[in-house]
A = this chain, B = another copy of it.
């Protein structure tokens, strides 16, 4: 978990390339060249290409750890807390979108011998906190009860990635000319849509 400068350099390049052209599509030579290190260094530092991916997961999963508690402890009305929660989730996913994309690609690949335990654990934790918050809101009569609580996270992240994974399509559909415009859209309108979606599900109309 404590990587030196050169290792981090490799991890960042690997993250970018894995996300862009896939794990299998990326050769260690490509990573080495882009990271301006010797080819052998990757095996030397990480043991293998697969272990490099595992190291990347460890490196990033620490970052996944959302400060959900930070939001939770705030003395905010449930509605506002919900918005803050969704916003935080989207922001976090967005920041680590590359690693998340890799995981989405590779997690169900049974041939791969990658240890996803840390990712799974973190995911379970996050969803647990959200579930508890929703339960609390339901107990207090603020949130509706006829909701698939365990699937709320899937809707948040799923909506985000459906747009992200079809970037060229949505850029055209939404009339977004540049990558910056797209990025901006993700963090404003899309986030707003997801917030609205979750609120619609949980809140009773006034």
Decide: A154 and B147 in contact? CB cutoff 8 A.
no
- For the complex, would chain A's binding face be called helix, strand, loop or mixed by DSSP majority? helix
With contacts A123-B169, A200-B201 known, what are 13 further pairs, Cβ within 8 A? A20-B109, A20-B110, A20-B111, A21-B111, A21-B112, A22-B22, A23-B25, A104-B166, A108-B168, A151-B159, A157-B158, A158-B163, A204-B205
A127 within 8 A of B: yes
Decide: B151 and A190 in contact? CB cutoff 8 A.
yes
A4 within 8 A of B: no
Q: A22-B22, A161-B158, A197-B197 are in contact. Are A105 and B105 (CB under 8 A)?
A: yes
State the CA gap A159–B166 with chains docked (Å).
14
A173 within 8 A of B: yes
The 4 closest A-B pairs by CB, nearest first: A158-B162, A158-B158, A205-B205, A24-B24
Q: Which residue of B lies closest to A147 (CB)?
A: B196
Cβ contact of A109, chosen from B25, B107, B154, B173, cutoff 8 A: B25
With both chains docked as a complex, state the minimum distance between the C-beta of A190 and any C-beta of chain B, in angstroms.
Answer: 7
Q: How many of A's residues come within 8 Å of B, CB to CB? A: 52
Decide: B168 and A159 in contact? CB cutoff 8 A.
no
24 cross-chain CB contacts under 8 A: A20-B111, A21-B112, A23-B24, A25-B111, A105-B105, A108-B165, A108-B167, A124-B173, A148-B189, A148-B192, A151-B163, A151-B193, A153-B162, A154-B162, A155-B159, A155-B162, A155-B194, A157-B158, A158-B161, A158-B163, A159-B159, A161-B162, A200-B200, A200-B201
